Structures are given as C-alpha cells and as structure tokens.
C-alpha cells in the first residue's frame, strides 16, 4: 500500500501526518509526504494579508518536508518527500493519480477562515478531484 499525506506546517497538517504514520505502520505501507508550493499563495500575518515570496515558500516547504521525513523515519515508515509546484488542490490529486497511490491524507484546515473564504478549502477541492479515497483529518 502507498499513501500520500499533504503537509503545510499547520496543526491540521501535523495531525494528518500523525494519522498517515499510524496507517502506514499498521498496514506496512509506504508514504509520500508532499508539500505544494503555490507562488500565488495568500498568507496571513496577524490581520495583514500579503503574497508570499515563492523562494520563501519553497524554503519553508523544504523545512516542513525534512521535519516530516524525520518523524516518519523515527516511526520506522518507508518515506519519500516530494515538492510539488502549483495549486495544492490540483497538484496533490494529480500526483496521487500519476503515482498509483491507494489514498490521500490531508488536514481539515490549514488556512484561517478569512483566507479560506477568499481562496476556498484545499481539503474540499482535493476530495472533489481525487480518484482515490481521501481521509480528511480533524
């Protein structure tokens, strides 16, 4: 079995990773941890909105992937990390389909409600686009 877990540095993303590690351990599955860099991403810092620099987003993604990889290896899970480029609602289901994975695990909410209202729910979009089962972790 092979699962994909999407991480973004948020608490729900961490919970998704926890769940995916539990699944991989119980099912002796491999795990692909993915982070999608969206150069047009809107980020929130307190009450201010800004467009995140793509280089900074990639650097943050590398750090998040490295931390997730370390946790997976500590858990004894066979893991690979993958940096994707583009809208995570599109890149994650595409990656899953192209790589024949058995399921996707995502966090319920990585964005604030304010930002989500403007750009939509990534988890919801992944569920709508995916061709494999999607587990949304709260």
Mean pLDDT (the chain) is: 87
Residue % of the chain over a pLDDT of 90:
66
Lowest mean pLDDT among 5-19, 25-39, 103-117: 103-117
- pLDDT of the residue at 126: 93
The fold of the 2-137 domain, in CATH, is: Rossmann fold (3.40.50)
Q: What is the mean pLDDT of residues 24-32?
A: 97
User: What are the angstrom distances between the C-alpha of 86 and each of 47, 80, 103, 128?
Assistant: 25, 19, 20, 17
Pick 130 or 46 by higher pLDDT: 130
């Amino acid at each position: 079995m092979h699962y994909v877990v999407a991480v973004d540095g948020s608490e729900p993303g961490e919970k998704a990773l926890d769940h995916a590690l539990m699944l991989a351990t119980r099912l002796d599955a491999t795990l692909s941890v993915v982070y999608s860099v969206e150069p047009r991403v809107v980020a929130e810092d307190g009450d201010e909105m800004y467009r995140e620099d793509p280089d900074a987003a990639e650097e943050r993604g590398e750090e998040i992937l490295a931390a997730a990889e370390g946790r997976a290896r500590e858990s004894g899970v066979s893991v690979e990390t993958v940096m994707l480029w583009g809208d995570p609602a599109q890149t994650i289901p595409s990656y899953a389909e192209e790589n024949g994975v058995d399921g996707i695990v995502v966090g319920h909410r990585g964005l604030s409600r304010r930002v989500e209202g403007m750009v939509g729910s990534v988890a919801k979009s992944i569920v709508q686009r995916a061709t494999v089962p999607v587990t949304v972790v709260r």
